[in-house]
Amino acid sequence: MTDRRPVYTPYPPRVPHIPHGAVPVREPAGPGAGPRRPRPPKRKRRRLKKSVKRFFWIVGTLIFLSVARPWHWFAGPSCRTAVAAGDTLPAAPKPLNQILSNADSELPEAVKFDRAVLAFMRKWELTGASLAIMKDGNLIYAKGYGWADREDGEPMEVRHILRIASLSKLITATAVMKLWEEGKLRLEDRVFGRKGLLGDDRFCRYTDKRLEQVTVEQLLRHRGGFTVRAGDPMFDWQIVERVLQRQPPYSTDDYVEYAVRSGLGYRPGTRTYYSNLGYVVLSKVIEKVSGLPYERYVQDNILAPAGCFDMHIGRSRHADKFPNEVRYYETKEAEAVPACDGTGAMVPKSDGGNDIQGLSGAGGWVASPTELLKFVAAIDGDPSRMDILHRSTVRRMTQEVKGELPIGWMHAYADGTWSRTGTMAGTNALLRKQSNGYVWVFVTNTSSWKGSRFHTHIGAMLRQAFGKVTEWPEKDMFEADSLMGEVGN
């Protein structure tokens, strides 16, 4: 029997014909449903350009960061507490020189050593002096001798800070080399001229075209072309006045302007001629490259990482000194000079005659020998303590080059003996790193009629005094600051 049922064929659904331009009408969805509204024609979505999207993404991210400050989520409890208390930063560690005292170095082994120092001071009529000694990265001795302020009856203590004169140049050179390590300048960079680091209009008013050859390294090595044939402008403001045609006080910018307008004494790089002015120019280079005032950059990026918190650019007048700074004394023969502030007053060189703030990176720092040794321990390449400079940078600074001065140091010999001296009215300072592992700093608050030659007498005295100590005790007073924790100054 044949099945007569129709065979189902899956034809596609019939699509009704819609005239061109007409809008189709949907069939009712079910019984009683009315006709559906026609679907509006689809609009083309406008897409934002990638550059516009990127702009809004960056703006949104910046707003989020400024409000949420997510970096504090990962900070330690002390940081989070500080932010919650109103963005007050934790107190800086107390300076080491303000933790130690002379009593910490009252050692039976050093009695004869102290006698030798005191005899030397009597011979040369030194009012006061401060000494610190380091051995193999450990601070083993720190003591003050004589008077910090004889008029006020204040004995010299470890806590006192003194002018260190040209020892300041070692600090400045370290700051320059740090910027070099970070790629923010090159040692062969030209300093002056429109394409130089100091290409400001104010520093381009010169006639001596040789200035355009001066490089950063030449200034570091005292080969930049500056001389003192007419006198040292950093210790005789009247020389500056004649060139600038205006009276003091002078800023660092004023001294740099004097440098370019007065010209050079020789072609840069052809000879070595010690120059304070060259290091004042380097102080300005540090400001220009870092975008910070010289003192602030050095304190934040050089001294604080080295653990030094009581080093500052000093002031010219005794009345403006720091609370724990000493009084300065000169020889009986010293004569008064016109005050460096241009008031016309006749004053001692050590009390208003020399422009300490103007010297800045050439000779303006005040410090204690204790913190100076902590600074040296951070730039000596000795693995016993972490350095703030790479070891290769330390080698470059202390490489012995015939006919040239080392970078920052005054003498650097292949056997590892390095030294740095400093002299001005009211101050003599000597820093020496010996090849046998001893490093020491000796600073006075009294100048000598011997001037810069007085350092040889200091060195000879300390060699003799060291010979009177059979064995120094094994200790490290650098660790004293870690025991104090973070406390206020």
Q: What is the pLDDT of residue 401?
A: 85
Looking at the chain, the whole-number percentage of residues with pLDDT higher than 70 is 80
Query: Which residues, 6 or more positions from 307, have their beta carbon under 8 angstroms from its beta carbon?
Result: 93, 96, 371, 374, 378, 478, 481
pLDDT at 265 over 70: yes
Q: What is the pLDDT of residue 65?
A: 54
Q: What is the mean pLDDT of residues 380-387?
A: 92
Burial class for 60, CB neighbours closer than 10 Å (0-12, 13-18, 19+): exposed
Q: What is the pLDDT of residue 480?
A: 81
Q: How confident is the model at residue 482 (pLDDT cuts 50, 70, 90)?
A: low
Q: What is the pLDDT of residue 86?
A: 43
Q: What is the pLDDT of residue 67?
A: 46
pLDDT at 73 over 70: no
pLDDT at 85 over 70: no
pLDDT at 4 over 60: no
Q: What is the pLDDT of residue 49?
A: 58
All domains of the chain, ordered by start, with CATH?
101-168+294-484 (3.40.710.10), 173-290 (no CATH)
Q: How confident is the model at residue 38 (pLDDT cuts 50, 70, 90)?
A: low
Q: How confident is the model at residue 92 (pLDDT cuts 50, 70, 90)?
A: confident
Q: How confident is the model at residue 53 (pLDDT cuts 50, 70, 90)?
A: low
Q: Could you read off the pLDDT of 154-188 as tens digits, one per residue?
A: 999 999 999 999 999 999 999 999 999 999 999 99
Q: Could you read off the pLDDT of 322-340 as tens digits, one per residue?
A: 999 999 999 999 999 999 9
CB 459 within 8 A of CB 383: no
Cα-Cα-Cα-Cα torsion 89, 94, 95, 96, nearest 10 degrees, comes to -140
Q: What is the pTM of this model?
A: 0.81
Q: What is the pLDDT of residue 308?
A: 98
Q: What is the pLDDT of residue 113?
A: 98
Q: How confident is the model at residue 23 (pLDDT cuts 50, 70, 90)?
A: very low
Q: What is the pLDDT of residue 447?
A: 97
Q: How confident is the model at residue 30 (pLDDT cuts 50, 70, 90)?
A: very low
Distances (CA, A) of 27 to 30, 32, 38, 392: 9, 12, 11, 87
Q: What is the mean pLDDT of residues 109-121?
A: 97
Per-residue burial over 170-200, b if 16 or more Cβ lie within 10 Å, else e, is bbbbbbbbbbbeeeebebebbbbbeebbbee
**423, β-bridge pairs:** 428
Q: Pick the residue with more confidence: 67 or 189?
A: 189
The total number of residues shown for the chain amounts to 489
Query: Which residues, 6 or more positions from 38, have their beta carbon under 8 angstroms from its beta carbon?
Result: 23, 24, 25
Listed as own residue / partner, the contacts of 256-261 with beta carbons closer than 8 Å and 24 or more positions apart are 256/198, 256/203, 256/280, 256/281, 256/284, 257/202, 257/203, 257/205, 258/233, 259/226, 260/192, 260/203, 260/204, 260/205, 260/206, 260/208, 260/211, 261/205, 261/206
Q: What is the pLDDT of residue 420?
A: 98
Q: Could you read off the pLDDT of 430-456 as tens digits, one per residue?
A: 999 999 999 999 999 999 999 999 999
